[in-house]
Every structure is written in structure tokens, then in C-alpha cells.
Amino acid sequence: MRILIVEDESDLLAGIAKALREEGYAVDTSEEGEEGLYKATNWDYDAIVLDVMLPKLDGWEVLKRLRKTKKTPVLMLTARDGSRDRVRGLDGGADDYVIKPFDLSELLARLRALIRRSANQTRSQIQIGDVLIDYAARIVSLDGEPVTLTAREYSLVEYLALHRGEVVTRTALYEHLFDEDDSSLSNLLDVHVSNIRKKIGPEFITTRRGHGYCIEG
Ligand code: CA
């Protein structure tokens, strides 16, 4: 999953980005509205964390302009006393909000729920054959036994599971799993898939030659 964070308080931005990367998300950042809107419009993010008070273009304007072209889930960061802000945000096409100051764990939980909802996957667990994926705990189990996956491997499984039954192209996986600063070694994806197959079984992810990867529905 790839997330964009638009926030001009650099300590807060760094804190959110670090927490998300530790969870295996690919993270892009921006400290002002114009650049944030540019990135939001030009990449297919899985979710956007958008502050209201921003230099150059405020969060409302970013949201309004973004909604002309994209439905990317948006979680707004609003002020404590801004109940009018929250109504305005939800009316303006925001999908959720958290009130500053917030717990990072709450932000992460809301982001996970937002991403599941946007994939029409409202339950927090999904069973595919012998494999159980717990989105809330970010754990994959095989026959009831937890499988040790790296954060990136988990993200790959999660992304394919949220799109199960669909062939996900390599390009889409690169866009959603790696951020703009990741080195794009072309075989990295294959290495992750190969490791997942060793841990979960060779049939779990199928390769569609020339198209991409798929977890059968
Ligand atoms: Ca701000």
C-alpha cells in the first residue's frame, strides 16, 4: 500500500511517515498543498493523509481539486475545536478525519479501515483456502500457524488479497508497494513473491506471464 502524507509540521510528518514505513507501507510526503495536490493527482495512492492548514493551498482546496479527478480515500487531520471543519471535510469528499493531537495507533487503524472500505472489503479478516489474512493485526496464518513475513512481503500479500481474483500488473504493484525513494531493482518483486511462496506455498500467488500476479478468488 502506498500512502501520501501532506503535512507542514515536519516533526509530525516525519513521525507519521516512520510509523507507516515500519508497518510496511510505501510513503510519499509533501509539506505544502500545491505539491501535495500534484502528487495526489499524478499517482494512484491507496490513501492520502491530508492536513487542513497548509502553505500555498489549504487542505480543503486540495481536496476539492483532487475530487474533480480522483476518488482516492482521504483522511483529514483537523484541529481539536474544528467541528465545523469536520462537517465541511466530510461534505467536501473526505472519507474520514482524526483530531489533532492524535495517537499514531488510531491514525493507523483508521487508515487500514479506509483502505479496506475502498476495496469493498469491510471485514478485518479474510480466509483464502488454508490461508487467513488478518488486516487489523497484519498477520498471515497458514493452517492456524502464523507465518513470519517481512513488512514488505505482508504488504504484497495484502494488496493481492484485497484484489483477489484480479490479475494485478507488475506496474501496479510497483506503484502501490514502493515509494518514490525506493530503488527500483527490476527483480525485487520476483524476490518477494518467491519468498512468500516458500513460506505460504507455491500455489498461493499465481504468475500470469506478461500480465502480473494473482491470488485466485
Ligand atoms: Ca498544518
192 C-alpha vs ligand 1 centroid, how far in Å? 37
How many Cα atoms are found within 13 Å in the side-chain-facing hemisphere of 109?
A: 7
Pair 108, 170 in one domain? no
Please report the pLDDT score of residue 91 as a whole number.
76
What does DSSP say about strands 131-134 and 125-128: parallel, antiparallel, or unpaired?
antiparallel
Pair 107, 17 in one domain? yes
Tens of pLDDT, residue by residue over 167-200, are 999 989 988 988 877 765 556 888 999 999 999 9
In one letter, which amino acid is 196? I
209 C-alpha vs ligand 1 centroid, how far in Å? 46
Domain boundary among 58, 87, 118: 118
181 C-alpha vs ligand 1 centroid, how far in Å? 24
Pair 9, 106 in one domain? yes
Report DSSP state, residue 146. E
57 C-alpha vs ligand 1 centroid, how far in Å? 11
Please report the pLDDT score of residue 88 as a whole number.
73
Separation between Cα atoms, residue 79 and residue 182, nearest integer Å? 33
Provide mean pLDDT across the span 105-114.
Answer: 93
H or E segment at 30? strand 26-30
Contact between residue 7 and residue 49 where contact means Cβ atoms under 8 Å apart? yes
Pair 149, 91 in one domain? no
58 C-alpha vs ligand 1 centroid, how far in Å? 9
Contact between residue 89 and residue 99 where contact means Cβ atoms under 8 Å apart? no
Question: Is the pLDDT assigned to residue 18 strictly greater than 90?
Answer: yes
Pair 98, 195 in one domain? no
Length of the chain: 217
Pair 79, 131 in one domain? no
H or E segment at 108? helix 104-118
Q: Examine residue 73 and say whether the peptide bond preceding it is cis (omega within 30 degrees of 0).
A: no
Report DSSP state, residue 41. H
Sign of the Cα pseudo-torsion (101, 106, 107, 110, in order): negative
Provide mean pLDDT across the span 71-83.
Answer: 84
199 C-alpha vs ligand 1 centroid, how far in Å? 43
164 C-alpha vs ligand 1 centroid, how far in Å? 37
Report DSSP state, residue 32. S
What does DSSP say about strands 26-30 and 74-78: parallel, antiparallel, or unpaired?
unpaired
Task: Compute the chain's Rg from CA coordinates.
Answer: 18
Total domains, the chain? 2
Domain boundary among 102, 118, 134: 118
Domain boundary among 63, 86, 118: 118
Residue 71, helix vs strand vs coil: coil
Which CATH number do you get for residue 51? Answer: 3.40.50.2300
Predicted confidence band at 35 (pLDDT cuts at 50, 70, 90)?
very high
Kindly list the distances between the CA atom of residue 37 and the CA atoms of 60, 76, 177, 201, in Å, as whole numbers in the listed order. 11, 14, 20, 41
The pTM (predicted TM-score) of the whole model is: 0.84
Please report the pLDDT score of residue 180 as a whole number.
77
C-alpha cell at 2: 502506498
Listed in sequence order, the residues at least 6 apart from 90 whose beta carbon sits closer than 8 Å to its beta carbon are: 97
Provide mean pLDDT across the span 74-101.
Answer: 82
